[in-house]
Amino acid sequence: MSHAFCAELEARLVRYVQVETTSDEASSTAPSTAAQVDLQRMLEHELHQIGAQDVLLAENGFLYATLPATTTKTVPRVALLAHVDTVAGVGEGPVKPRVHRRYDGAPIVFPDDELLVLMPEINPYLGKKLGHDIITASGGTLLGADDKAGVAILMTLARHLLAHPELAHGELRLCFTPDEEIGVGIRHIDLSRLAADFAYTLDGGEVGEIVYETFSADKATVSITGVSTHPGRAKAKLVNALQLAGRIMTALPHTHLTPETTDARQGFLHLYKLEGAAAACTMHFILRDFEEEKLAEYARLLESVCADVRTSEPRARIVCRITPQYRNMRDRLQQDMRPVTYAVDVLKAMGIAPLSPPIRGGVDGSQLTAMGVPTPNLFTGMQNIHSPLEWISVQDMETAVKALIALVQRWAQ
C-alpha cells in the first residue's frame, strides 16, 4: 500500500505559516510572544481531532502529546520535536505562501518584491527539485518553513500512525516548542512531562541530514575597572579601562581564530561586544570549537592575555569569567549511537545518502542532549531559512514523513 502525504503536508504548511508566531528576544515572558500560543491552540485542537492522547498545552507555551505504543515490547520512549516560532527581523506583515506546482526550473519571482529571484543557478539544491511542488512566501516576509515544516511533518506523521495501529512502534511523545529562534525556549521544557529516553528535532535542511555534531560553546566576560580622576589632573593617576581593553584586543589573534578567518571544523574566539567607559568597561566574548579541549585552550589564551595586561598595570582590576553555554552533542551521543545509527539505517534502506555536516552553532538538541535526552536533528527540506528567499519542496517533506514512519518502527524491532 502506498501513501501519499503531499496534499496533507502542503495544506498543513500553508495553514501553519499564516499564523504569525515571531518570537521576541527583548521579551521577558515565557513564551516570549502570545502569538505563538495561537498556533499551539490550533495544533492542540488538531491533535485532539486525530486522536492523540495526553494533549497538554502548558502555561509556558509548550504543547505535549502522546501517540500510544502499538507494540507490547518494551521499547525506548522517543520524543519528536519541532519549534513553532519564527525568527524576527525578516520583513513585516502576514506570510502569503505561494505554491509553485511541478517546478520547471525557471527563475521564481516574488510579487511583493520585484528585486528578489530564486533560481537553480544560485541555489543548486533547487535545481534538483524539478517536478516538485515548491512553496515560497510572496517576497515581503520569510516563509516560516523553519520550523513549521517540522510541525507539518510531525502532525502528518501523527495522523498517519494513529490511523494505522498495525505499524508497530513504542510510545511516542510529540512536543511543539516555543522560542527556539531566541535560544531560550528549550530551557523551559518539562523533562518529566516529556518523559523520553531519546528525541529528535525536525529542524534540519536538505534530505538526508542527520545532525549530531555542533559546536561546544562558552562565553567569556572580561571586566576591567580602571582608576578614574578628573582628566585635567590625571597625570600618573588615571588608569583608562578602555585603553586596557584595547591592549587585550590587540594581543589576541586576529589573522586566525576569529569567525571571519575560520570555517569547517576550526573554532574561534570572538569579541562581540565592548561596553563601558574609561572608568570601567566589559568585553564580551564567545568561544567556539568542536573539541572541548580546544575550547579550554581558547579560555587559557584569553586568561593569559588578561594576566599580562594585569601585570603591566597592577592598579587596574581585570576579571575574566568563563561560562559554559552548550556542548557538542556528539560527545554524549557516542555513549549510545542508536538515535543516529537507526536513522542512518532507515535512510540507506530508502536509498538516501545520510549527511551529517558539523554545525557551526548550537541547536535545541544540543541543550536537550546536555539535559540528558540525546537529540539529533533530522531534515525537513527547508532551504534559505531566515530570508525572504526561504523555500521548501513538498516532496522533500514527504520523504521526511516516510523516513520517520520507518524510524519509529526501527526503534521497536
Tell me which residues are annotated as active site. Answer: 85, 180
> Judged by CB under 5 A, does residue 390 bind Zn ion?
no
Q: Which stretch binds Zn ion (CB under 5 A): 68-76, 109-117, 139-147, 273-281?
A: 139-147
CB of 386 to Zn ion, least distance (A): 9
CB of 203 to Zn ion, least distance (A): 4
Task: Give me the sheet containing 98-100, strands edge to edge.
Answer: 98-100, 134-136, 391-393
139 vs 144, beta carbon nearer Zn ion:
144
144 vs 267, beta carbon nearer Zn ion:
144
By DSSP bridging, strand 280-289 and strand 268-276 are antiparallel
Q: Which stretch binds Zn ion (CB under 5 A): 72-80, 85-93, 203-211, 279-287?
A: 203-211
Taken as a whole, the chain contains a residue count of 413
> Judged by CB under 5 A, does residue 147 bind Zn ion?
yes
50 vs 87, beta carbon nearer Zn ion:
87
CB of 356 to Zn ion, least distance (A): 18
CB of 312 to Zn ion, least distance (A): 46
Binds Zn ion (CB under 5 A): choice among 10, 146, 209, 218: 146
Over the window 319 to 338, marking each residue x when it contacts Zn ion by CB under 5 A and - when it does not, the resulting string is --------------------
226 vs 381, beta carbon nearer Zn ion:
381
Q: Which stretch binds Zn ion (CB under 5 A): 21-29, 140-148, 215-223, 341-349?
A: 140-148
12 vs 77, beta carbon nearer Zn ion:
12
> Judged by CB under 5 A, does residue 203 bind Zn ion?
yes
147 vs 218, beta carbon nearer Zn ion:
147
The whole-angstrom separation of Cα 172 and Cα 410 is: 13
> Judged by CB under 5 A, does residue 85 bind Zn ion?
no
> Judged by CB under 5 A, does residue 179 bind Zn ion?
no
Per CB under 5 A, contacts with Zn ion among 228-247 are none
- Residues contributing to the site for Zn ion (CB under 5 A): 146-147, 203
